[in-house]
Amino acid sequence: MDALRGNAVIGQSGGPTAVINQSLVGVMEAFGSSGAAGKLLGSVHGTRGIVDEQFVDLATIDSGRLDNLAATPSAALGSSRDKPDAEYCQNILEVFKRNDVHTFFLIGGNDSADSARIVDEMAAASGYDLQTFHIPKTVDNDLRTTDHCPGYGSAARFVATAFMGDDRDNRSLPGVKIDIVMGRNAGWLTAASVLGRQAGFGPHLVYVPEIAFSVSQFLSDIEASFDEYGRCLIAVSEGIEDENGISIAQVLAEQLGKQVERDGHGNVQLSGSGMLGDFLADLVRKELPGGISSRVRSDTFGYLQRSFAGYISEVDATEARGAGRKAVALASSGAPSGSVAIRRLSNDPYASEFFRAELADVAKGTKELPRNYINAAGNDISDAFSDYALPLVGELPVIESII
Amino acid sequence: MDALRGNAVIGQSGGPTAVINQSLVGVMEAFGSSGAAGKLLGSVHGTRGIVDEQFVDLATIDSGRLDNLAATPSAALGSSRDKPDAEYCQNILEVFKRNDVHTFFLIGGNDSADSARIVDEMAAASGYDLQTFHIPKTVDNDLRTTDHCPGYGSAARFVATAFMGDDRDNRSLPGVKIDIVMGRNAGWLTAASVLGRQAGFGPHLVYVPEIAFSVSQFLSDIEASFDEYGRCLIAVSEGIEDENGISIAQVLAEQLGKQVERDGHGNVQLSGSGMLGDFLADLVRKELPGGISSRVRSDTFGYLQRSFAGYISEVDATEARGAGRKAVALASSGAPSGSVAIRRLSNDPYASEFFRAELADVAKGTKELPRNYINAAGNDISDAFSDYALPLVGELPVIESII
């Protein structure tokens, strides 16, 4: 390994996860032992901190604090939802030049990979020596190329466990219960609702954005579930869409005369409101007969899914840390700019390795839940998904039942 | 200890908790080793199962399953929100007579203590030999006589940890974040939001039902917090009330033309909807200037607070188990009917003991958060509360910060 030239910058971007600081600490540790003579500068609030030259010299953080820092949920350097345009990226490059920065690490989702790509291409075009490495993180698990994303396993563990408990709650006081799960336009996190399900228990219905949402089908599905179980626990993605591919939450917000909030990347705000769950619950109350509609509740799991401390997946934490280290290793070895990706080697026992993916491949678009992970009727999740996801969440609680 | 006469019935009632089955298993274990010749009958769905004679012979449950059963959240026998009237209680008594039941255990809150009291007095009046023991459980922590309630510690642990993570999430992407916490008309569970707070971090504001909620004060509190921290994380009880003691959630539901749902005890439904959080978030968006209102989110923690498996407080689990055992010990010793209560013996190290309280004392009314557990301004929680609550939640995650 060659020593890195000059200084390096690291930033965290987009919605945080429970293990995003594992990747930060992974970079800090590996940078510290890489023999690099320069500084590792933490950019405060993502790319915004670069433009504003708000840096923290990460060598000043006591190494005794690193394990606790890694276990702390949500971006310790602060995050940002800025979408860098050409001028913004030009400013980033100017700051890099002024601060002798030749290595750029950015932890984030596909929008961040795209920002990293733009800065990297701009540097190349201007003949400036810059290596750029994107380190994946997202609870949505929707990045291309990688088998799965750091951050997903812990969020999926939270969701799976939440449904195990909520199913027993619904079993003890029967009725219709609707739980809204994060994940934007992909059903990966909502699918995790089934990971702790025992035969004959809930969730009884699962709706993901990959299948067009039909109100009439939703209502008849609930009636059928009630006939069979006398109750119905339902997992619904925050990003479910109508047959035209328009998010139901967006349609609702517009109907209610609410301002539809978008981030710099044009993404509509889906989380941080109970609107979708309340709408679906009201629908059931209004449209279904008394036996079914007498007890209807909805919960929106919200930001707990990405920020709950103390209940993370060990596999996820280890991989997130490793992804940070891998980024430094790639940089030190003089590898071309890229995104750290995970390849699954075996499922039992679970094993994985990292590889370098192209920034452009990760930046463009997102990855949907494959059709074979969804049942034929489009209202439940298949065993093939569980085979994929179970190794990522760690051991789930063992629960028992009497009735 | 004398052996118990005849058969015994046990039921679970009201909203479940994460450790309510610890108490069930405590009763099962102690009954099994009490030398009682009769059966322990589990009533399916609380008092409803008694009237319907829907019983499970709990001796048929394999003892190897008991530890996992105890760790399973939510009433394993099913629960009920029925309010037994005189006829209903008469029916219970008839079933007891027909099935040679002379001991009645009911796990629940104050409404359940009241049901237990009525049945017990009715038996006494008719000269039927019945011992009745109420075993406390509620995440609301609002029962009289006892120092605290089994179920509270685990819910408080969940809430404290949730706020630790959500605070870092809000720190990384600053804005106004409102989290609605359970607890009905008492602020105990909402107060737990501060238990993992570090100096200078959130929650920055806490609103409990014990202090009349003022919209103008709420808005100016947020402005002051924003001035100081550039962000604001807020804990709000689901049961906050206006100056006339009317629940804000109820007022809202009526304004929105929604049916206000009440259980048999007249309690208004507060949980299972994101309405209150969304209302407060809309208020901030509408009334406060752009710098503050540009990013406003609300989450309603919902049923996860009482049903999340795998993240319980060990102290709480142990006490819930012990409360079940104590009820059998009281019955076996021929003690008068009563409610199992907890007395705190010391705080450091934490130690407690059980004692028998009168059913009537626990049945009547609920216990509010004392005024000295709330700050003078009525928008935060005092250190005195933390001294009370910290021993009940177990060790919280240790988190670190850079910015």
**pLDDT tens string B135-190:** 999 999 999 999 999 999 999 999 999 999 999 999 999 999 999 999 999 999 99
**B1, pLDDT greater than 60:** no
Q: What mean pLDDT do residues B45-60 have?
A: 97
- Residues B187-233 have pLDDT tens digits of 999 999 999 999 999 999 999 999 999 999 999 999 999 999 999 99
Cα–Cα–Cα angle for B173, B174, B177, nearest 5°? 105
pLDDT, tens digit (0-9, with 9 covering 90-100), for A55-89: 999 999 999 999 999 999 999 999 998 888 899 99
Please tell me the distance in Å from B70's CA to the nearest CA on chain A.
Answer: 8
Short-list A73, A325, A193, CA closest to B171: A73
Give B278's contacts in chain A (Cβ within 8 Å). Answer: 273-275, 278
Nearest residue on chain B to A302, alpha-carbon basis: B299
Average pLDDT of chain B to the nearest whole number: 95
Residue A86: which H helix or E strand, with range?
Answer: helix A86-98
Mark whether B140 is an active-site residue.
yes
Question: How many angstroms away from the CA of B291 is the closest CA of chain A?
Answer: 15
Quote the minimal CA–CA distance from B100 to chain A in Å: 23
Give the range among A107-116, A249-258, B94-103, B282-291 with minimum mean pLDDT. Answer: A249-258
Tokens of B56: 């499970």
Q: How far is B320 from chain A (nearest CA, A)?
A: 17
**A298 phi and psi angles, rounded to 5 deg:** -135, 145
| Side-chain half-sphere exposure of B139, counting CA atoms within 13 A | 32
Q: What is the pLDDT of residues A11-57, one digit of tens each?
A: 999 999 999 999 999 999 999 999 999 999 999 999 999 999 999 99
| pLDDT value at residue A255 | 84
Cα-trace Rg, chain A: 22
Separation CA B292–CA B290 (nearest Å): 5
Residue A163 CA, chain-centre distance (Å), reads 18
User: How far is the C-alpha of B90 from the C-alpha of B106, rounded, in Å?
Assistant: 17
Do A311 and B309 count as a contact with CB atoms less than 8 A apart? no
Q: Look up residue B259 and give its two tokens.
A: 């049916």
pLDDT value of position B83: 86
Q: What is the pLDDT of residue B280?
A: 96
- d(CA B362, CA B114) in angstroms, rounded, equals 8
H-helix segments, B247-313? 248-255, 275-287, 290-293, 304-307
Closest CA to A116 of A101, A124, A106: A106
Question: Does the structure show a pLDDT above 80 at B109?
Answer: yes
pLDDT number for residue B263: 75
What pLDDT digit, counting tens, does each position of A356-366 carry?
999 999 998 89
Give the pairing type, strands A176-181 and A296-300. parallel
B134 bridge partner residues:
B106, B339
- List A82, A140, A167, A361, catalytic entry: A140
pLDDT per residue as tens digits for the range A314-350:
999 999 999 999 999 999 999 999 999 999 999 999 9
Between chains, do B400 and A302 touch, taking CB under 8 Å as contact? Answer: no
Average pLDDT over residues B368-384: 98
Confidence of residue B255 (pLDDT cuts 50, 70, 90): confident
Nearest CA in chain B to A293: B261
Q: Chain A window 154-213: which residues touch B at a Cβ cutoff of 8 Å?
A: 161-162, 164-166, 168-169, 171-173, 177
pLDDT at B372: 98
SS (HEC) of A158-201: HHHHHHHHHHHHHHHCCCEEEEEECCCCCCHHHHHHHCCCCCCC
> For the complex shown, is ipTM > 0.95?
yes
A172 with B259: Cβ contact below 8 A: no
Binary contact (A165, B275; C-beta < 8 A):
no
**Which residues from B are below 8 Å from A278, CB to CB?**
273-275, 278
* CA distance readout (Å), B235 to A87, A333, B181: 40, 48, 7
Provide the pLDDT confidence category of residue B251 given band limits of 50, 70 and 90: confident
pLDDT at position A2 is 63
Are A309 and B399 in contact (CB < 8 Å)? yes
Contacts of A359 (CB under 8 A, 6+ apart): A113, A114, A116, A117, A120, A132, A134, A337, A338, A339
Say if the Cβ atoms of B72 and A401 lie within 8 Å: yes
Residues A91-141 pLDDT 10s: 999 999 999 999 999 999 999 999 999 999 999 999 999 999 999 999 999
d(CA B307, CA B313): 13
Give contacts of A 217-276 with B, CB under 8 A.
258-259, 271-275
B165·A79 Cβ contact <8 A = no
User: Taking CB atoms and an 8 Å limit, are B16 and A69 in contact across chains?
Assistant: no
**A380 phi and psi, to 5 degrees?**
-160, 175
Tokens of B148: 């605290």
Is the Cβ–Cβ distance between A209 and A237 less than 8 Å? yes
**Which 3 state secondary structure label does DSSP give B40?**
strand
Q: Are A118 and A85 in contact (CB under 8 A)?
A: no
Interface of B with A in 77-96 (CB under 8 A): 77-81
Indicate the residue type of A346: S
Cβ distance of A168 and B73 shorter than 8 Å = yes
Give the residue ranges of DSSP H helices in A230-337. 248-255, 275-287, 290-293, 304-307, 314-332
Given an 8 Å threshold on Cβ–Cβ distance, is A307 in contact with B68?
Answer: no
Q: Which of A231, A119, A120, A113 is nearest to A172 (CA)?
A: A231
Percent of chain B exceeding pLDDT 70 equals 99
Rounded to whole angstroms, how far apart are CA atoms A138 and A16?
7
Across the interface, which of B72, B168, B277 has its CB nearest the CB of A72?
A: B168
Residue burial B321-332, b: 16+ Cβ < 10 Å; e: rest: bbbbbbbbbbbb
Chain A with chain B: Cβ pairs closer than 8 A: 233
pLDDT for B2: 63
| Mean pLDDT, rounded, for A134-151 | 98
Instruction: Please report, as a single letter, which amino acid is at residue A306.
Output: R
Smallest CA–CA distance from B55 into chain A, residue: A403
B310 and chain A: CB distance < 8 Å anywhere? yes
**Would you call B266 helix, strand, or coil by DSSP?**
coil
Nearest to A402 among B61, B161, B296 (CB): B61
How many Å apart are CA B174 and CA A302, to the nearest integer? 16
pTM for this prediction: 0.97
Residue-level pLDDT at A402: 95
Nearest to B14 by CA among B103, B107, B117: B107
Residues of chain B in contact with residue A81, where contact means CB-CB under 8 angstroms, are 173
Per-residue pLDDT of A193-235, as tens digits, reads 999 999 999 999 999 999 999 999 999 999 999 999 999 999 9
Structural contact between residues B120 and B130, judged by C-beta atoms closer than 8 angstroms? yes
pLDDT of A163 higher than 90: yes
